[in-house]
Amino acid sequence: MIRTDWTRAEIAYLFELPFSELMFRAAETHRANHAAGEVQLCTLLSIKTGGCPEDCGYCSQSVTANSGLKAEKLIDIDAVLAAAAEAKAAGSQRFCMGAAWREPKDRDMGAVCDMVAGVKAMGLETCMTLGMLSGEQARQLADAGLDYYNHNIDTSPEHYRDIITTRTFQERLDTLAEVRGAGMAVCCGGIVGMGETREDRVGFVHALATLPRHPESVPVNALVPIRGTVLGDLLADTPLARIDDIEFVRTVAVARITMPHSMVRLSAGRESMSEATQALCFMAGANSIFTGDKLLTTANAGDSKDAALLAKLGMVPMTAPEPMRAMEVAE
């Protein structure tokens, strides 16, 4: 039975366990629900960069940021399909597309739905993150064949207003409900290392683990401080710029224990992590990564470096479709 009634006290207790005990429990949970030596490879492409009206303090694509990033138009479908083909050839199983919008305009829905259909026809899982969705927009994406919709809660409900003021926490949850209502799987996680406390990390995991249904995919990002953003300027030259590695691994482990069937993905920030830290994350139950040289606008480890790391750890890319695996676990 999958629990969705976790209390904050229970999650705080997990965070406070001796590290070896927490790792043991997370590894046990992982092995009971997933293949321990497999990692899902995903690729992320920015299909519309910059000019976002939101004021997320971590994001270089916000119009409020002085990051030097220029607003661009929605890219051509042929460019998307070419990038998807390259990702598939490099071993990616899921292709994710992100647009710097508060929400998509109805006039853009035909183009993004064509992108979904085209990538889906290549045999890749599809994921999009376009901001908030109406019920009708969610249904259009579902009809086009979109497998996953990403919409992160970012942080705890209490810390949220310190990070973004142009969209409420509840609006995030409303979009997740529209995605669920349209029959798509949910990709939802957040960012740690944004000056939050451990109590906030407890609240972040609690918010995800008490959703009516756990996200099928939970990306855990470590903040990449970018000059010109609120958090980048605040944290880039301070010890808070990177979350402590052990605390980051603890967050991954607690996410795994509380959401046992979810794919837990190491996302942004991995390019600056040591191989040892990444190995600990895999031991703690992370089983998905973004590969390639770039994540939207920030650097990423790269395909060859990832392949070398997985080989060193004796791990292999996942080959079977993840939704099928989820069904098998559920049965």
Choice among 25, 167, 250, 265 that is catalytic? 265
Q: Is 59 a catalytic residue?
A: yes
Q: Catalytic pick from 42, 56, 188, 281?
A: 56
Residue 119 class from Cβ within 10 Å (0-12 exposed, 13-18 middle, 19+ buried)? buried
Respond yes or no: is residue 127 known to be catalytic. yes
Helix H segments across 145-296?
Answer: 169-181, 198-209, 230-235, 245-258, 275-283
Report the alpha-carbon distance of residue 261 to residue 275 in Å, rounded: 25
**For residues 78 and 172, what is the distance between their CA atoms, to the nearest angstrom?**
31
User: Pick the catalytic residue: 42, 127, 188, 281?
Assistant: 127
Q: Which of 25, 42, 52, 256 is catalytic?
A: 52
Which one of the listed residues 42, 59, 188, 281 is annotated catalytic?
59
Considering the candidates 96, 113, 188, 281, report the single residue annotated as catalytic: 96
Is 42 catalytic? The answer is no
Q: How far apart are CA 89 and CA 271, in angstroms?
A: 22
- 234 CB contacts (<8 Å, ≥6 apart)? 195
> Is residue 295 classed as helix, strand or coil in its secondary structure?
strand
Residues in the chain: 331
Give 292's DSSP letter. Answer: S
Catalytic residue among 113, 187, 188, 281: 187
- Identify whether the C-beta of residue 46 lies closer than 8 Å to the C-beta of residue 98: yes
Q: Verify whether residue 113 is a known catalytic residue.
A: no
Catalytic residues: 52, 56, 59, 96, 127, 187, 265
